[in-house]
C-alpha cells in the first residue's frame, strides 16, 4: 500500500489545499493530511480547529486520514510507513523553498520521495496568509475557502481586533 502525506499548516484550509488533496488520490492508496504544529508560528486557528475543519472538508473521502505532527516531517513519515510527501506549488518562489526542503528530507530519509503538484491556475495565488489578510479587512474570500470557514474567519478577526 502506497501511503502519502500532504503536510501543511492549513491555517485555514483553502480551496487550493483541497484541490491538491483531491488530485493526490491518483498517486496513492492512502493520504495522510497532516497539520504541522510549529512552535515558532502563532496560528489563527489552534491545531484542534484546523483538524476539525479538514475533517469536515474531507468527510466524503474515505482514503484520507487527518493527523497532526510535531518535529521533523521525515520522522513522522518513518513512524507511519509513509513513502511519499506531496507538496503543492503555486509559483517560482514556492519551488525554490520547497525544493530546498525536499533535498534536506532526501538527505535525512533517502527512501522517502517528494512529489510536487502544480496549483490549478484558479488557485495559483491562494495561500492561507492571503486569505487571512483579505478576511481581516472583510474582503470577499467566497471562492477561496469552503463556505463554512468564512464565518469562522470573521469571528476570529472580531475577537483579535
Burial of 160 per CB tally in 10 Å (0-12, 13-18, 19+): exposed
Minimal CA–CA distance to 31: which of 115, 125, 94? 115
Q: Name the catalytic one among 90, 106, 124, 136.
A: 90
Is 17 among the catalytic positions?
A: yes
Distances in Å between the Cα of 132 and the Cα atoms of 6, 67, 88, 154, 157 are 21, 23, 19, 9, 9
Is 152 among the catalytic positions?
A: no
Is 124 among the catalytic positions?
A: no
Is 90 among the catalytic positions?
A: yes
Q: Name the catalytic one among 17, 50, 87, 132.
A: 17
Q: Name the catalytic one among 26, 40, 41, 161.
A: 41
Minimal CA–CA distance to 67: which of 88, 47, 87, 39? 47
Which residues lie below 8 Å from residue 53, measured CB to CB, with a gap of 6+?
10, 12, 13, 45, 146, 148, 149, 152
Q: Is there a contact between 24 and 50 (Cβ–Cβ < 8 Å)?
A: no
Q: Name the catalytic one among 87, 102, 128, 132.
A: 128
User: Which residues are part of the catalytic machinery?
Assistant: 17, 41, 90, 128
Amino acid at each position: 500500500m502506497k501511503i502519502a502525506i500532504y503536510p501543511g499548516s492549513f491555517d485555514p484550509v483553502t480551496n487550493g489545499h483541497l484541490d491538491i488533496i483531491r488530485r493526490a488520490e491518483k498517486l496513492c492508496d492512502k493520504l495522510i493530511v497532516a497539520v504541522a504544529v510549529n512552535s515558532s508560528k502563532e496560528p489563527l486557528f489552534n491545531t484542534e480547529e484546523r483538524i476539525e475543519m479538514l475533517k469536515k472538508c474531507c468527510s466524503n473521502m474515505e482514503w484520507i486520514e487527518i493527523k497532526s505532527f510535531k518535529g521533523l516531517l521525515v520522522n513522522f513519515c518513518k513512524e507511519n510507513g509513509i513513502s511519499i510527501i506531496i507538496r503543492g506549488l503555486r509559483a517560482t518562489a514556492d519551488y525554490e523553498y520547497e525544493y530546498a526542503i525536499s533535498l534536506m528530507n532526501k538527505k535525512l530519509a533517502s527512501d522517502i520521495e517528494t512529489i510536487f503538484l502544480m496549483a490549478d491556475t484558479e488557485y495559483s495565488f491562494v495561500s492561507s496568509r492571503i486569505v487571512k489578510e483579505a478576511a481581516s479587512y472583510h474582503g470577499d474570500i467566497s471562492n477561496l475557502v469552503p463556505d463554512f470557514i468564512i464565518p469562522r474567519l470573521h469571528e476570529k478577526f472580531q475577537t483579535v481586533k
